Amino acid sequence: MTSVYLRILLALIFLSSFLQKSDGHNEVWCIADEQIPEDVVQTALDWACGNGADCSKIQVNQPCFFPNTVRDHASFAFNNYYQNFKHTGGDCYFSAASIITNFDPSHDSCKFEYLP
């Protein structure tokens, strides 16, 4: 193996150690897709909140109310639903209004839950 290939291999091994947690699980969150029309996201948000997502933290005077946008509120609700139901058949689909990310979307006092 040439030294260039060996360096690339070592770099990939090094980077993968950062991407994978010590328990062997990659943390993922479910968030609203920026490319989906807002009315579709709103409908999916309403469904998530009515079907098991805990949407109390996106209410006025709660830690995830700001930014007060449909997408931000939907991201919190989608992730809450996904984390709580992923082991019993729940997924991150929401009529194609959401995507999976490896980046923690938490901000300020709004913490997005991750459940292994």
CA distances from 113 to 5, 49, 54, 83, 106 (A): 39, 16, 11, 7, 8
Q: According to the model, what pLDDT value does residue 100 have? A: 98
User: What is the model's pLDDT at position 47?
Assistant: 98
The two tokens of residue 5 are 């290939």
> pTM for the whole thing?
0.80
pLDDT at 90 over 90: yes
pLDDT band at 21 (very low <50, low <70, confident <90, very high): very low
Residue 1 confidence (pLDDT): 52
- Gyration radius from the chain CA atoms: 17
Indicate the pLDDT class of residue 20, thresholds 50, 70 and 90.
very low
CA dihedral of residues 89, 44, 31, 86 (deg, nearest 10): -10
